[in-house]
């Protein structure tokens, strides 16, 4: 596996945000991390992307244990994260955003603007993303388009693992479908994708492995063959609790 965690845990002061979570992702596969709000998904991503360091357990890249110093190191090792707020600057153009932090250089430290524009356009096309004008500010793109630019950016910069933090949560049905298509495209290009979401209906079609988190711990890690969509939903929502609730909510006959 490219990326793997072994019983990883993290506390913030007295709060145990994450405990005993084991998961992994392979090349060319999608691992979905599911869980309701407050399940510990964002803590997990922050550990995977280098923002936080884990307190217990092990974080393995290519089967070698690591402690990432920061997001920059994660990026350098090929772990690209696309956050909910997209790490995009709305007022800046698509091509500027595309190369932000990794600008191509000419002699004398100049920013190679021509190359940047050309590559941005080409890469977006290669992912099947049809952006009208790479000069337009990112803020004028639709939600789905912004996500796709972020994904194309990660793919171009040689990411081996792509971590997506709730990419479809704020999108409508059609747009969500578009994003799922790009996730599949990234997977097909050989990346390992970690897809975090609280919507099992989005996760199921595209996922190969599923990790369900609840209140900071893992309820299990399943392969696609081992679980159905309904079972996933039930697991996530705390099936037993929902049954009980349904009972309470029933009208009196």
Q: Which is nearer to other proteins, 134 or 227 (CB)?
A: 134
CB 188 to other proteins: min, Å: 22
CB 253 to other proteins: min, Å: 54
Tokens read off for 56: 């217990």
SS3 31: strand
In whole angstroms, what is the distance from residue 167 CA to residue 143 CA?
Answer: 9
CB 72 to other proteins: min, Å: 5
In whole angstroms, what is the distance from residue 225 CA to residue 208 CA?
Answer: 9
Radius of gyration of the chain (CA): 19
Q: Which is nearer to other proteins, 75 or 213 (CB)?
A: 75
Residues with Cβ within 8 Å of residue 63, at least 6 apart in sequence: 1, 4
User: What are residue 34's phi and psi, to 5 degrees?
Assistant: -110, 155
CB 106 to other proteins: min, Å: 9
Q: Which is nearer to other proteins, 60 or 92 (CB)?
A: 92
| Cα 3–Cα 74–Cα 215 angle in degrees, nearest 5 | 60
In whole angstroms, what is the distance from residue 143 CA to residue 156 CA?
Answer: 20
Q: How far, in whole angstroms, is CA 18 from its chain's centroid?
A: 18
Q: Which is nearer to other proteins, 13 or 109 (CB)?
A: 109
Applying CB under 8 A, which residues contact other proteins? 71-72, 75, 81, 83, 85-92, 96, 99-103, 105, 109-111, 113, 125, 130, 132-133
Q: Which is nearer to other proteins, 74 or 211 (CB)?
A: 74
CB 5 to other proteins: min, Å: 21
Q: Which is nearer to other proteins, 136 or 228 (CB)?
A: 136
CB 100 to other proteins: min, Å: 5
User: What are residue 15's phi and psi, to 5 degrees?
Assistant: -90, 125
CB 126 to other proteins: min, Å: 12
- The sign one gets for the Cα dihedral 196, 198, 202, 206 is positive
Q: Which is nearer to other proteins, 132 or 229 (CB)?
A: 132
SS3 45: helix
């Amino acid at each position: 596996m490219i990326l793997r965690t072994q019983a990883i845990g993290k506390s913030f002061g007295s709060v145990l945000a994450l405990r005993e979570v084991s998961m992994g992702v392979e090349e060319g596969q999608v691992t979905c991390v599911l869980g309701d709000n407050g399940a510990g998904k964002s803590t997990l991503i922050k550990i995977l992307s280098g923002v936080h360091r884990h307190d217990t357990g092990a974080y393995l890249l290519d089967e070698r244990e690591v402690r990432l110093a920061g997001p920059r190191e994660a990026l350098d090792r090929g772990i690209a994260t696309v956050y909910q707020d997209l790490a995009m600057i709305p007022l800046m153009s698509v091509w500027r955003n595309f190369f932000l932090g990794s600008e191509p250089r000419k002699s004398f430290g100049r920013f190679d603007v021509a190359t940047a524009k050309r590559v941005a356009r080409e890469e977006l096309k290669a992912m099947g993303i049809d952006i009208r004008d790479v000069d337009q500010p990112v803020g004028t793109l639709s939600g789905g388009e912004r996500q796709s630019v972020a994904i194309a950016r990660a793919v171009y910069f040689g990411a081996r693992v792509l971590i997506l933090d709730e990419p479809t949560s704020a999108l409508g049905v059609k747009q969500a479908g578009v994003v799922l298509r790009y996730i599949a495209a990234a997977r097909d290009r050989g990346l390992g994708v970690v897809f975090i979401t609280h919507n099992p209906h989005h996760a199921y079609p595209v996922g190969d492995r599923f990790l369900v988190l609840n209140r900071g711990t893992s309820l299990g890690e399943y392969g696609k063959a081992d679980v159905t969509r309904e079972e996933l939903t039930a697991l996530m929502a705390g099936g037993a609790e929902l049954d009980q609730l349904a009972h309470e909510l029933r009208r009196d006959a």
